[in-house]
Amino acid sequence: MIGLIVFVFLGAAAAAPVDDKIVGGYECSPHSQPWQVSINIGYHDCGGSLINDQWIISAAHCWQNPYSQIVIVGDHHIWVNEGTEQFMSVDAIYWHESYDYQTLDYDIMLMKLVHPVTVNQYVKPIALPKACPTPGDMCMVSGWGNIYTDQVFNPFNLQCVEVPILSDKECEGSYPGQITDRMVCAGYLEGGKDACQGDSGGPLVCNGELQGIVSWGQGCAQPNYPGVYTKVCSLMPWINDILSSYS
């Protein structure tokens, strides 16, 4: 329960909404984020990113029984079948053995699909990072986080927002004692642009590489409280180990 008090979890669509969508963003150009995944448990629950034709990366706090989840790729309007979607069953989920649900350290999981997706103009994997991001790098966050502040309701179309990587000093200044080497902050200290509930597990893409996974934050788009993302570059050894062991 401590974690629920300290953090705004950005995952379940059923979470109590507070400025509850990609805040300060806009509707993405359709299929401009072809790695974007919707993890569905009867409704959109979390985001994720396609990293090759059979693997999805998301946040560990989005974990559900794999047999209760459907992964949807190639989607834009989440409530209309546009003919571009692929609906995939999940074979197995691997979350980091050091994941801490209270601090959200090591907030990462890999999902293996039962069958490979068909890669096409609507469905393409995102590259994993070759190096860590640099403060000031501009990055894209996308998701279907809730759209109303007074009830739970997902937006129809995928939302995008651009935010810069912040320095470790700025990140630590906003969240003293809570930031680990597996976390990176992105956003504006003046507030106004951020991810929010329902966006969890989704991509933070910088210079064509997946540098972050939407993880947590205090409120959404609040001044001095930027979004906190799982730092993908710091977990590449673990990612590569899982992919090599179970692919």
**Catalytic residue numbers, as ranges:** 61, 107, 200
The answer to whether 202 and 174 have CB atoms below 8 angstroms apart is no
**DSSP code for 233:** G
> Can you tell me the distance from the alpha carbon of 57 to that of 191, in angstroms, rounded to the nearest whole number?
27
**What phi, psi does 223 have (nearest 5°)?**
-55, 135
Give the up-direction half-sphere exposure of residue 236: CA atoms within 13 A in the CB hemisphere. Answer: 11
Give the up-direction half-sphere exposure of residue 201: CA atoms within 13 A in the CB hemisphere. Answer: 32
Residue identified by tokens 């509930």 is 197
Compute, in degrees rounded to 10, the torsion defined by CA atoms 184, 127, 36, 88: -120
> Can you tell me the distance from the alpha carbon of 62 to that of 108, in angstroms, rounded to the nearest whole number?
9
